[in-house]
Amino acid sequence: MILRTIFNHPIGRALIIYVGIILMLTVLVLLLKPVLIPLIIAFILFSILDPLKNRLMRSGLNAISSIIIVLMAVVAIGVVCLVIGIPLMLDQWEWLQTRLPTIATQVAKILDGLGASLINAMGMQVDTRLGERWLTDLKSQSTDAVVSSAGIMVQSVFALVFIPLITFFLLRDYRKMRNTAMSWLPNKAYELGWLIYFRVAKKLQNYIRSVFMQSAIIAMVTVTGFYLIGLDTAVLFGVLAGFLNLIPYVGPLLSMLPPMLVALGSSTPDIWLLVSIAAVVLTAQLIDNIFVIPSLIASTVDLHPMLVLLGVVVFGYFFGFIGMLVAIPVLATSKIILKGLVNGLNRGTSEDMMYAVPIKRDTQKA
């Protein structure tokens, strides 16, 4: 009786459908877990390349020729990165590995001194071995990574083959697969399903393209800044800063930590270098917040900062680093789906459909 009452109410019915969608997506993610990261990368490439393919098709090329051209452009960019960027970052990573014991010792000394100062000044008892333990674990993990490099190589080769193939099929057949999946919707939910799909697809594609450009800009700014201040691992930590910038609020702080540890780990810590590292990261964030976010990011997601921060923390706790990266798109998608279900079921979709593209059952083009 209670369940029937809840289901008869539009909001209750929307919540039940929403929970069902979440459960189905969760099962799908678990089934695809072995290939989930390559699939995510393929969908990211599809979101970036699909507008370029469509532009080439509007210029007169057929679909296959357009796909081949955009994929060849991506391969060319990847080859340039492999030939120039990857060897440079590997050299800097090897240099960093040789410095880890010195960094651990020096940071431990600094923590010892800081702990003694806190004990003398405030009577606080501080375990000064935490930094040494953490850095020792980091060194152990890096050594294990070198030992397991054969497995990593196999996974990388698989990804290099799998990702371009999936991207090709998405560029060629995505609309056909989407139309087939949407045709399974019952008649009552057909228009509402298309409305929610268009809103989710538009938000996600705009967000992916925007954050990709944002990360590239931050990486270029930080690489240039780290190089100018004389940091030996400028390219490695600059690219890492661009990647970590995908994590709201937390990412910029994380990007500042590795170069500062390297600076502290020198035999004579350079205060000027520490200040310069902080200045580079802060400058990149100023550029991001003043120019990049207002022009690229602000209109792509409509989430309260508190919800974003909580989402990053919760997703990071349960799903690790990948969870922190996907927190915003997952939250934005969930909000659109739930809001669309509530509005559509509550108002019979009539008001929302005024702004949607009319869809007919016999129409398979969109």
Q: What is the pLDDT of residues 286-295, one digit of tens each?
A: 998 888 877 7
Q: How far apart are CA 258 and CA 362, in angstroms?
A: 57
pLDDT range class, residue 147, cuts 50, 70, 90: very low
Residue among 317, 288, 163, 149 at smallest CA distance from 213: 288
Of residues 300 and 335, more confidence is placed in 335
Global pTM? 0.75
% residues pLDDT > 70 (the chain):
75
Q: Does residue 135 contact residue 298 with C-beta atoms inside 8 Å?
A: no
Query: What are 261's two structure tokens?
Result: 């540890």
Contacts of 39 (CB under 8 A, 6+ apart): 32, 166
pLDDT range class, residue 8, cuts 50, 70, 90: low
Amino acid at 317: Y
Residue identified by tokens 């909001």 is 11
Q: How far apart are CA 103 and CA 257, in angstroms?
A: 13
Helix/strand/coil for 279: helix
Q: How far apart are CA 183 and CA 361, in angstroms?
A: 7
